[in-house]
Structure 1
């Protein structure tokens, strides 16, 4: 009976110790997380001579701002560009109207994220809970088949520290033809 009581008390102490450690870790992560500051996003401005020209100076007032850009019709690919004002822990979006054949490169690959896709959805996260730091860059390059006239991002979800949902903008659709 004493051994059982001792085991229960030990289990309770261990459980409280783990919770206290997790709360301390969360507080340290939250304290080091920068506040949302508007940054300059890159805005695509198509023209006759340079259809994928990017122009700076559009403010990004969300936690995550996105842009579909750099369409390559011969490769059947385009980039998802991200400006993030807070650290990112995971990403998911739908791209209806195209058949996604894969995605590669960018910040997802640089940070060792596990990325998978179905015909219309991309899902990516880090098995090691690694965060994508505040900044900007190509999130990933998407490869597709079954082209349509344009592609739009829908059902966009970005996760932050502790799985919190981040606020994101809705990027403009990208013309594919």
Structure 2
């Protein structure tokens, strides 16, 4: 065991340093996302979704840095990552709408002016939608219409259509009436 340690002392030190740095990086990113979520009054479920994206980012960075620390050459590493990204690229091209909805979900987290509980109108030429935002997921919005119908509306389309705010915090207003 001691032999293993002495042979790989520098790699073990790099590994520990990388882990510490990435844990701090992850903590800072999560704090920033949490601060943005609180300041913008974003629902906690959307903030948790951003935490998942941050975890994925940190894991990808960790894999790259740890492979480099343990002696995988830059040529080998670039070959592996280019092959993986080529396969992922082909797969994502086949399902580009899912990727666009995830990207739109991230954009909505930071810049969507409407919150859960707001009554909105989506100005869609073929089928306008009026309802209350029940939830904002990674791929779509859940909107409850006045008829009680649940409408799932893709995130990428919500960024392309005009949206009007009809009433702010409908759920809170309903609670005031019942008191």
TM over 0.5: no
Greater helix content: 2
* Bigger Rg, structure 1 or 2: 2
Q: Which has the higher contact order (CA 8 A, sep 6+)?
A: 1
- What TM-score results when the alignment is normalised by the length of structure 2? 0.29
Greater strand content: 1
